[in-house]
């Protein structure tokens, strides 16, 4: 990566971070491992085990670990070219990724709401139609 990358890389790199964090913590493909982690985050006897398993159920928490992975993979730094650039980039990427996930969640809720309204309207139309018998 460039020694001083443009700021738009912050917004680009936050997209896969948000995607990975959301997928692991919300989507059906990871439901079984997530349920296992939820169970152990509630039932573990030690604080360390409870917090460790909780990390895989919270998109905010998990996005920190995905961000670390992305920073190691890309070498992206923000503002400073030494270790401070990694710290700044890490927190900025987590923040932008969580904004993306919040927006995605709002859109999903709105789409579900519209779908339910359409289904109710279809039911009302079907109930009002007179049946024609031959």
Question: How does DSSP assign 11-67, residue by residue?
Answer: HHHHHHHHHHHHHHHHSGGGHHHHHHHHHHHHH-SSHHHHHHHHTTT-HHHHHHHHH
Residues 34-43 have a mean pLDDT of: 90
Q: What pLDDT shows up at residue 81?
A: 87
65 domain-assigned: yes
Tokens at residue 12, please? 């680009």
Q: Which is more confidently placed, 71 or 56?
A: 71
Q: What pLDDT shows up at residue 133?
A: 61
Q: What pLDDT shows up at residue 99?
A: 97
63 domain-assigned: yes
Domain count, the chain: 1
13 domain-assigned: yes
The boundaries of the domain holding residue 69 are 8-98
- Tokens 């070498």 -> residue: 75
In the structure, what pLDDT confidence band is assigned to residue 123 with cuts at 50, 70 and 90? confident
114 domain-assigned: no
103 domain-assigned: no
CA distance 93 to 65: 11
105 domain-assigned: no
124 domain-assigned: no
């Amino acid at each position: 990566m460039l020694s001083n990358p443009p700021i738009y890389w912050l917004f680009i790199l936050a997209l896969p971070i948000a995607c990975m964090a959301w997928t692991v913590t919300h989507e059906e493909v990871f439901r079984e491992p997530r349920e296992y982690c939820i169970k152990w985050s509630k039932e573990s006897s030690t604080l360390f085990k409870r917090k460790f398993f909780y990390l895989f159920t919270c998109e905010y928490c998990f996005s920190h670990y995905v961000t670390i992975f992305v920073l190691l993979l890309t070498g992206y730094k923000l503002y400073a070219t030494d270790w401070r650039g990694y710290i700044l980039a890490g927190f900025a990427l987590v923040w932008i990724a969580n904004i993306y996930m919040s927006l995605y969640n709002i859109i999903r809720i709105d789409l579900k709401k519209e779908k339910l309204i359409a289904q109710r309207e279809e039911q009302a139309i079907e109930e009002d139609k007179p049946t024609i018998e031959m």
